[in-house]
C-alpha cells in the first residue's frame, strides 16, 4: 500500500510542477490553487511512504516518477519536444525507478 501511495505522490508531483508553471508566478488563481492542493497531497504521500520505505529509495522513486511525468505532460501539451536521446534517458529513469522497487 505504501508503494501505491508513493506512486500517487509522484503523480501529484508532476501535477504541482505543471500547475506551478501554468500559474505564471502565482498570478493565475486556478493553477495556483491546483498547485497548492497537489503539492500538499504530494508531500503527504511522500511523508507517509517514508514511514516504511527508506528515505533515499522513497525520494528517488518520487522524484523519478514526477520528473518523467512532468516531461511527458509538457510534450503532450506541446510545450516541449522530445528527442530520441531524451526518450531513451527517460526510459532509463523509469527502469531505475522500477529497479528500486524490485530490489527493495
Domain count, the chain: 1
**Per-residue model confidence as pLDDT tens digits over 41-71:** 999 999 999 999 999 999 999 999 999 999 9
Q: pLDDT higher for 28 or 102? A: 28
Give dist(CA 82, CA 87) in Å, integer. Answer: 6
pTM of this structure: 0.90
- Residue 104 pLDDT: 78
Q: Give the residue from 38, 58, 56 showing the smallest Cα distance to 48.
A: 58
Domain span including residue 98: 2-103
- Measured CA distances, 27 to 21, 24, 38 (Å): 11, 6, 17
Amino acid at each position: 500500500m505504501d508503494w501505491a501511495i508513493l506512486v500517487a505522490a509522484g503523480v501529484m508531483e508532476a501535477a504541482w510542477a505543471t500547475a506551478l508553471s501554468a500559474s505564471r508566478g502565482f498570478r493565475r488563481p486556478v493553477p495556483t490553487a491546483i498547485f497548492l492542493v497537489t503539492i500538499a497531497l504530494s508531500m503527504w504521500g511522500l511523508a507517509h511512504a517514508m514511514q516504511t520505505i527508506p528515505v533515499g529509495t522513497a525520494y528517488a522513486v518520487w522524484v523519478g516518477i514526477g520528473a518523467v511525468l512532468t516531461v511527458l505532460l509538457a510534450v503532450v501539451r506541446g510545450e516541449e519536444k522530445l528527442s530520441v536521446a531524451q526518450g531513451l534517458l527517460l526510459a532509463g529513469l523509469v527502469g531505475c525507478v522500477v529497479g528500486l522497487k524490485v530490489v527493495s
